[in-house]
Structure 1
Amino acid sequence: MKRRNNRDVTETYFKGEHLSLSDLKEQRIVQNGYLYKNNIPAYPESVEFHVQKVSHVTGVQGLNGIFHNSGFRQPLEMVASGQHHFLWWDLSVTSDDISSAEERFLTSLFPHRSAAQLRGQSPVLEHFTTSNAFQKKSSYGNFRFTFSFKQLLWHYVNQFCDGQSPVLRVFETVVYRREILYKILVHPRDIHMYDEHYPRLPGQEDGVCGYHDGALWWRCQAPSETYKLKLEVNQLNCSVHVSPHREEYYVWDHVCVAFHMEPGWVLKVDQNKLLKSVNACEMSQPFLLRAPETPLSLNEAEHVLANLKASMV
């Protein structure tokens, strides 16, 4: 199905499904030339990341609003327009997450590597994790709040779920021109509007993403927007390396988490924790700030944040 989102961008979406790239290629409704390219060089596919942190990025007004409210809420203009009430968070993939994912990937290729082969393997995944899903920059603002997903769930449970564990569901797959977005939904147990059309999120089963033991797992299928290198696999030596390749553009995939929020709800967080969790970041194209927010340089953003922190001492 197709729709126009709140940024007036056309998107193709699949409700209650997390469809892999191969699944999407079989959907006739998906008219995306990049998705069907067959000249993409070999790269690490279906690499499994175990991510414990999530982040929320905003502009100056959002930053001030979060500290004014001592927490996170849906923008008032979106509540007034009758849009769905969600608080959005992206996976925050660390360098340690990438190293661990690479080890899992290499072990799946070569389960019986020797100690010498282990020592001789140079990092390769860092050459391919170049999409926006892995970058410190953001299209959504200059101020990033980062929490462990487990900690965020704890706040949500204690404020909106009467101490009961929330429900995690498969929400949507959304396809843009060069971007595949997998949405995970979190809601209290006494909210039943999602029961019929949105299945429970997998634990350790097959799938694109799920939740297990405090971490969100994600089988990344397209880690780069642009490929300039090719993955070479040497089965004899149980090793992999990269070689140059003609530049090719492709789709990239990522995961976000939507917390169900009723009108007026504010996900409260202690001011000291907010201060420790926020940092300034550089913005990247395309700028997706909502008016009247405007992008700042990294230096300007750091100055704004320093002034805010000084005013709260």
Structure 2
Amino acid sequence: MANATGFRARMNDRNTKELYLEGQHIILQDLKMREDIRQEQQVQKYLSKNITAYPTPVEFPITECTHVTHKMGLQGIWDSEGFKGLNKDKFSWWSLKINEADIRAAEERFLESSFPGRSEGEIAAQQPFLSEFTTSPAFINETSRYGNFRFTFPLAELMEAYKKQMCEDEEPVLRVYETKSFKQEIEYVVLVHRPPKFDEDLSKYPLLTSSPLVSYEGNQIIWRAQAICETHNYQLEIHGKTAVTQNMPSHEYYVWDHVTLAFHVNEGEVLTFPKTRLKASLSCCAIDPINLAKGYVYSDLNEARRFLESLTDTV
């Protein structure tokens, strides 16, 4: 079973330094205490801060996934009619797509767990508050660091396609792959692969049931988010059994966390979808000021939309 003794450093495919620990999802408080993380000054600059009260942890039930790419990546997906496993790991990378309904559901879960036994009056008096805090890149769908083109699929559809095409109709296996730490970002990677009889070398990673932060239940990912703001502009105050937001005197930068899904797709294989389905799943997004895309990107969204139209016209 994968269980490295400590975080190790490497340069990723975007030529960015990352610290990684295989086979574990390390919660934020434990990360703060690890000596191998404390030695990384750039990471500690943000991680070591004591931030004014905010909602944490918050449990998000998520039913959609997203894959963002640039012009060249989109062209490759379009030509192959699906998603390949890239680079030496042979992974197709997906993020969780969190919408307003997910945030409302998470807010209600947070209130129910924080204030059990609320009266009808207390429930009626509670004003929406969580959207003031869900400001990290994990919750922003209008922009991306990875390109202009966003594929969005229901998790159930993505898993069903993987089950039929890669697993001979057996259930995919989900495992704890690694924790990755960057300067201001904590990433928890979930590995999705075919049953062990097909991919025995991946069985060294613990099953996802061992993760304290991520679970897979009934065609949805349950993510127990710990750092949802990145930039903190508000603080959380509790008045009786009511949660209230207050403006902070000045904003505070902190780390943010998120979950990615790594679907294992062997060399020469493609997780395919009809072009009509690919077309329906596509949308355009603006490039974030932090641009990590390794490929051509558009600064003008209208140009991105025109390129998208040039592809969909060939359906």
Regarding TM over 0.5, the answer is: yes
What root-mean-square deviation, in Å, do the aligned CA atoms of Structure 1 and Structure 2 show? 1.3
- CA–CA distance in structure 2, aligned partners of residues 47 and 18 of structure 1: 16
- CA–CA distance in structure 1, aligned partners of residues 211 and 188 of structure 2: 15
Deviations 1:52-76 (A, max 9, x none): 100000111211221211111145x
SS at match of 2:169: coil
Deviations 1:37-56 (A, max 9, x none): 12x11100010001010000
**2:163 and 2:171 in contact (8 A); partners too:** yes
Which residue, out of 275, 294, 298, partners 2:297?
A: 294
Deviations 1:104-136 (A, max 9, x none): 001111111122221221111000000000001
Which residue, out of 211, 224, 227, partners 1:222?
A: 227
**1:58 and 1:142 in contact (8 A); partners too:** yes
Q: Which residue of 2 aligns with 1:17?
A: 24
Deviations 1:62-91 (A, max 9, x none): 11221211111145xx3xxxx211000000
- CA–CA distance in structure 1, aligned partners of residues 56 and 228 of structure 2: 8
Q: Does 1:109 align with 2:120?
A: no
- CA–CA distance in structure 2, aligned partners of residues 297 and 29 of structure 1: 42
- CA–CA distance in structure 2, aligned partners of residues 269 and 90 of structure 1: 18
Q: What is the CA-CA distance between 1:206 and the residue it aligns to?
A: 6.8
* Matched pairs, number: 299
Q: Which residue of 1 aligns with 2:168?
A: 162
Pairwise mapping of residues 8-87 of structure 1 onto structure 2 (< 5 A)? 8-30=15-37, 31=40, 32-38=44-50, 40-75=51-86, 78=87, 83-87=88-92
Q: What is the CA-CA distance between 1:103 and the residue it aligns to?
A: 0.1
Q: Which residue of 1 aligns with 2:145?
A: 139
SS at match of 2:121: helix
Q: Which residue of 2 aligns with 1:250?
A: 254
- CA–CA distance in structure 2, aligned partners of residues 144 and 233 of structure 1: 38
**1:287 and 1:295 in contact (8 A); partners too:** no
Q: What is the CA-CA distance between 1:240 and the residue it aligns to?
A: 1.1
SS at match of 2:187: strand
Unaligned runs of 5+ in 1: none
Unaligned runs of 5+ in 2: 1-7
SS at match of 1:193: helix
Q: Which residue of 2 aligns with 1:275?
A: 279
Deviations 1:162-214 (A, max 9, x none): 11111100000000000000000011111011222x10002xx7711111111
Which amino acid is the alignment partner of residue 10 of structure 1?
Answer: K
Q: Which residue of 1 aligns with 2:3?
A: none
Q: Which residue of 2 aligns with 1:150?
A: 156
Deviations 1:200-238 (A, max 9, x none): 002xx7711111111001000000111011111112xx1
Q: What is the CA-CA distance between 1:155 and the residue it aligns to?
A: 0.7
Instruction: Please list every run of at least 4 consecutive aligned residues from structure 1 whose deviation after the TM superposition is greater than 6 angstroms.
Output: none
- CA–CA distance in structure 2, aligned partners of residues 206 and 134 of structure 1: 22
TM-score calculated relative to the size of structure 1:
0.92
- CA–CA distance in structure 2, aligned partners of residues 123 and 18 of structure 1: 30
TM-score calculated relative to the size of structure 2:
0.92
- CA–CA distance in structure 2, aligned partners of residues 84 and 117 of structure 1: 51
- CA–CA distance in structure 2, aligned partners of residues 116 and 99 of structure 1: 19
Q: Does 1:266 align with 2:270?
A: yes
Name the % identity: 40
Q: What is the CA-CA distance between 1:268 and the residue it aligns to?
A: 0.5
- CA–CA distance in structure 2, aligned partners of residues 219 and 273 of structure 1: 31
